[in-house]
Amino acid sequence: MSGDRITEPGIEKSTVSTVVVMVSTMASRLLGFVRIAVIGAVFGGSGQADVLNLVFNIPNNLRKLLAEGALSSAFIPVLSSQIVRDPSGWGARRVVRNLIAFQFLILIPLLTLSVIYAGPITGFILDFPEPERRLLAAELFRYLIGYVLLISVGAVVMGTLNSHNRFLVPAVTPIFFSIAVVGSILLLHSRLGVFSMAVGVLLGGLGQLAFQYPSFRRLGYRLRPGFDFRNEAFIRILKQWLPVVSAASIFAVNQQVSLYFASGLEDGSGSAMTNALVFWQLPFGIFSASITTVLFPRMSRQAAAQDAEGLKRTLEYGVRYLLTLLIPSAICLALFGRELIAVALQRGAFEVSHTLLASQVLRGYSFGLFSVGLFTFCQRFFYASNDFKTPVRVAFITFVIDVTLSVILKETALRVVGLSVANSVAFSFGALALIFVARRRLGGLNLRDVARTLAKISLSSVPLVLFIRGYLFYTGDWWIMGSSTLNFLRIGGLGIGSVVITLLMYYLLRVELITNLIHKGKPL
């Protein structure tokens, strides 16, 4: 274990790995916008689009519950420990085979029952008043639910690659999902309607798995299941997975409750929420998820090596970088989210009213962008430290706050916007609670450096806000015309200008992200 402390790369060098993941994720997310734009242009922002968007969120939440979120959080610390302790790789390969077998045993019966009882399941989860929408939701669910098996096996492959400090291939893998969905809709929607997306989702899930497999195989792993479950490391994963699933299930249920509330509000509310989340997920996926992806295996190795000081430095590093990247992102979403949505989605059946509603929901979510990022990162800190009870307790309290506020705010003039505001408030509380416990657990954090970083970001935000406000004031309400080449150039100028001003201010104020890239960044 002492060798792990010696060979662990310096914390500054993680900047380069993080930026590599960010750039790769940005490319896949931009293609994801093409996917959303195609869905909006073909199916609109209400009606069948509501059914399609809300039904797809069911397997998408199961993915987070059974695959990428919960399983990886329990899996990566144990696999990282096996890699540190057994350089031969035999123990790590055995754990991976056990996990694949376990997923088959759990998911195949679950998916079979989901296909048989699709009607009651979708009727319980969603609140569509029209019988034809309920029937369409059940039929779509029967096809889309198969995506869970493909993405769950893919998550094991992804977690294995990340544990070996292989980040690039998993980061670009989602591009195949978007290509498959866009291609299927464009080629098949005239014959299959909304079911064309179901074809694309299944092909995309298969493509994600196939693209990662060669790298997985080169590390000595195979997809052969191993049914000898007496493996101590695998048993440890299961013990850790159950509380992680509890935390993840709370948030899966939380999101489904929000979608349930949205499905019972005015027509288009469900699509407004899902469309807003797509834009919110852009900076969250590029920045927050990238930081967590790179630092979670690092924290797991440091915890396995009992390197408390290193663990503390990594946590502080992550908090500072989340502030650096998510605060300006939240400002941009809040100030020109309407223009962004209009250029990306407003064409065909997607109208001005759909843009306005989605942008208002997006503004509500933007206030909680940093809070959700910090919450997610702190969760991984506790998982890496083998503390799975604290995240569950805080997750439950956050869920109660979110649902309580949602019930209240959805009945006010805010309506569906109230659901996003409730989410931001609840996660702000949850993030503060987790960082408070982490600080006490580590015997204190260097909050002076965090405060210094926050002050620099706040100062940098002043010219950013002035630029955005001035740009929109002098260019007028061009967003009403929706998607066009000229409007694309306008939003491009707004976005590039915002990035340049932020980076320039960061350079002048010597924000850590920029100084590390310029002076210390070396390939890992």
> Token match 């059974």: residue?
66
Q: What pLDDT score was predicted for residue 522? A: 44
Residue 163 structure tokens: 């544990």
- 258-288 exposure pattern, b = at least 16 Cβ within 10 A, e = fewer: bbbbbbebeebbbbbbbbbbbbbebbbbbbb
Residue 402 structure tokens: 């979110």
Give the pLDDT of the chain (524 residues) as one tens digit per residue. 333 333 455 555 566 667 777 777 777 777 777 777 787 778 765 567 778 877 887 887 777 666 555 666 777 888 877 887 777 788 889 989 998 998 888 889 989 998 999 888 888 877 777 778 888 888 888 888 888 888 888 888 988 888 887 877 887 888 888 889 889 989 998 888 888 888 998 998 898 889 999 999 998 898 888 888 888 888 888 877 777 777 766 666 777 788 788 877 887 788 888 889 889 988 888 888 788 888 888 888 888 778 888 889 899 999 999 999 999 999 999 999 999 999 988 887 788 988 999 999 999 999 999 999 999 899 989 988 888 889 889 989 999 999 999 999 998 989 889 999 999 999 999 999 999 999 998 888 888 888 999 999 999 999 999 999 999 999 989 999 988 889 999 999 999 999 999 999 999 998 887 777 766 544 33
Dihedral angle of Cα 172, 174, 175, 180, to the nearest 10 degrees: 150
Residue in 505, 492, 450 with CA at minimum distance from that of residue 317: 450
Cα dihedral sign, 355-361-364-370: negative
Q: What pLDDT score was predicted for residue 232? A: 84
Q: What pLDDT score was predicted for residue 519? A: 62
* DSSP characters over 406-444: HHHHTTSTTTHHHHHHHHHHHHHHHHHHHHHHHHHHTT-
| Separation CA 5–CA 373 (nearest Å) | 27
Residue in 410, 419, 505 with CA at minimum distance from that of residue 464: 505
Let me know if 100 is exposed, middle or buried by CB neighbors in 10 A (0-12, 13-18, 19+). Answer: buried
Q: What pLDDT score was predicted for residue 1? A: 35
Q: What pLDDT score was predicted for residue 113? A: 92
Q: What pLDDT score was predicted for residue 42? A: 82
| Separation CA 40–CA 203 (nearest Å) | 20
Q: What pLDDT score was predicted for residue 521? A: 45
Do residues 290 and 345 lie in contact, with contact meaning Cβ atoms separated by under 8 Å? no
Do residues 148 and 62 lie in contact, with contact meaning Cβ atoms separated by under 8 Å? yes
- From the CA atom positions of the chain, what is the Rg in Å? 22
